[in-house]
């Protein structure tokens, strides 16, 4: 049995606090305002530290589906790197970028995400990787019965927009990767920041959805089973996506630092067990206790598409 633990949307803040002078006339001010007011949710470092401490227990691999930093500041990257390096001393970690990690065109040009996190993205089949500004994707790790595949959907956008894009080149490479014998004989576990399935109105999808979700689902259509894991929405959701050969479990993790009364939102992590024969057990979520205490499991019932 191979156990994968899933966290997302760490939104690590600069330990020195936000430098407001650098935010003025900058897209980052909208991101910070969003963090403080729009979502009405509180980020607590204590929650994040507790989640990162607990997530490795009993697991074989941890995946992080983006928004690791909050405003792509170098100081945030350094703080996030420290947390993930500490985690990686206990367990193998794979990450994908979120829109907050590639916040501005300058962040992309600096290849800041790749500079800090490429050690978590060493592919076993590097010949399939496209050289994207956020790094080399798709990246695949062949581990026991699982093929863990990291995709990048993070691109900088104007203020108030956070739509994701995989791009034709990456989707084509991904489809070819899925056909590789080493991947085909395993259960695919696909990581992407933006939601691959999104039933919200078109206007909302245009604001912060995944532009090429449909071509991605087309590439997934030949699979008979697998997991597609994402973040971005800051809420735990699970759906069963039918394919022509079977179905996939599409599951999101909430923000790993969030303090919120709802169990669907509050800080925590998901766990997925894959048997040696490749079958996937029902995902389980572990949510941080109400009074800041122990984690407790909650069931995540799927809805079907
Ligand atoms: Fe986020
Ligand atoms: Fe996001």
Residues 14-66: tens digit of each pLDDT: 777 655 445 544 555 555 555 554 444 688 999 999 999 999 999 999 999 99
Distance 194 CA to ligand 2 centre (A): 7
Distance 274 CA to ligand 1 centre (A): 27
Determine the pLDDT at residue 248.
Answer: 97
Distance 156 CA to ligand 2 centre (A): 11
Distance 100 CA to ligand 1 centre (A): 7
Residues 236-246: tens digit of each pLDDT: 999 999 999 99
Distance 255 CA to ligand 1 centre (A): 7
Distance 99 CA to ligand 2 centre (A): 5
Structural domains in the chain plus CATH codes: 2-304 (3.60.21.10)
Distance 111 CA to ligand 2 centre (A): 18
Q: Which ligand is nearest to the CA of 34?
A: 1
Q: Which ligand is nearest to the CA of 154?
A: 2
Checking if the pLDDT of 134 tops 50, the result is yes
Q: Which ligand is nearest to the CA of 38?
A: 1
Q: Which ligand is nearest to the CA of 97?
A: 2
Poorest-pLDDT segment among 105-119, 226-240, 272-286: 105-119
- The token pair at 85 is 């390096």
Q: Which ligand is nearest to the CA of 194?
A: 2
Distance 129 CA to ligand 1 centre (A): 25
Of all residues in the chain, the percent with pLDDT exceeding 90 is: 74
- Cα separation of 147 and 237, whole Å? 22
CB 10 within 8 A of CB 257: yes
Residues 219-233: tens digit of each pLDDT: 999 999 999 999 999
Q: Which ligand is nearest to the CA of 208?
A: 2
Residues 201-212: tens digit of each pLDDT: 988 998 999 999
Determine the pLDDT at residue 301.
Answer: 79
Average pLDDT over residues 74-103: 96
Distance 232 CA to ligand 2 centre (A): 4
User: What are the DSSP calls for the chain, one per residue?
Assistant: -EEEEEEB---BPPTT---HHHHTTSHHHHHHHIIIIIT--EE-HHHHHHHHHHTTTT-SEEEEES--BSS--HHHHHHHHHHHHHHHTTSEEEEE--GGGS-SHHHHHTTHHHHHHGGG---SSGGG-EEETTEEESEEEEETTEEEEE--------TT---B---HHHHHHHHHHHTSHHHHTSEEEEE-SS-SS--S-HHHHHHHSBTTHHHHHHHHTT-SS-EEEE-SSSS--EEEEEETTEEEEEEE--BTTEE-S-TTTSSEEEEEEE-TTS-BPPPEEEE--TTS---EEEE---EE-
Distance 182 CA to ligand 2 centre (A): 31
Checking if the pLDDT of 88 tops 70, the result is yes
Checking if the pLDDT of 171 tops 70, the result is yes
Q: Which ligand is nearest to the CA of 103?
A: 2
Name the pLDDT band for 111 (thresholds 50, 70, 90). confident
Distance 25 CA to ligand 2 centre (A): 21
Distance 30 CA to ligand 2 centre (A): 14
Distance 72 CA to ligand 2 centre (A): 12
Distance 10 CA to ligand 2 centre (A): 10
Checking if the pLDDT of 133 tops 60, the result is yes
More confident site: 259 or 26: 259
Average pLDDT, the chain: 90
Q: Which ligand is nearest to the CA of 162?
A: 2
- Cα separation of 222 and 41, whole Å? 39
């Amino acid at each position: 049995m191979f156990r994968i633990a899933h966290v997302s949307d760490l939104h690590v803040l600069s330990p020195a606090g936000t430098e407001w002078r650098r935010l003025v006339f900058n897209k980052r001010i909208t991101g910070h305002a969003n963090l403080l007011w729009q979502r009405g949710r509180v980020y607590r470092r204590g929650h994040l530290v507790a989640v990162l401490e607990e997530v490795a227990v009993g697991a074989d691999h941890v995946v992080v589906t983006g928004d690791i930093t909050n405003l792509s500041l170098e100081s945030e990257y350094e703080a996030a790197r420290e947390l993930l390096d500490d985690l990686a001393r206990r367990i193998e970690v794979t990450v994908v970028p979120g829109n907050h990690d590639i916040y501005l065109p300058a962040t992309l040009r600096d290849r800041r995400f790749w500079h800090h996190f490429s050690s978590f993205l060493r592919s076993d089949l590097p010949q399939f990787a496209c050289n994207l500004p956020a790094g080399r994707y798709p990246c695949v790790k062949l581990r026991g019965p699982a093929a863990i595949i990291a995709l990048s959907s993070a691109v900088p956008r104007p203020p108030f927009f956070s739509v994701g894009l995989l791009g034709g080149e990456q989707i084509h490479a991904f489809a070819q990767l899925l056909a590789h014998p080493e991947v085909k004989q395993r259960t695919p576990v696909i990581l992407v920041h933006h939601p691959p399935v999104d039933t919200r109105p078109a206007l909302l999808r245009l604001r912060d959805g995944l532009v090429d979700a449909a071509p991605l689902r087309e590439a997934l259509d030949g699979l008979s089973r697998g997991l597609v894991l994402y973040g971005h929405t800051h809420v735990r959701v699970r759906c069963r996506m039918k394919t022509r050969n079977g179905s996939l479990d599409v599951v999101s993790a909430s923000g790993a630092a969030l303090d919120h009364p709802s169990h669907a939102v509050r800080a925590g992590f998901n766990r997925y067990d894959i048997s040696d024969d490749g079958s996937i057990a029902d995902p389980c979520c572990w949510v941080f206790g109400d009074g800041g205490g122990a984690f407790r499991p909650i069931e995540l019932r799927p809805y079907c598409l």
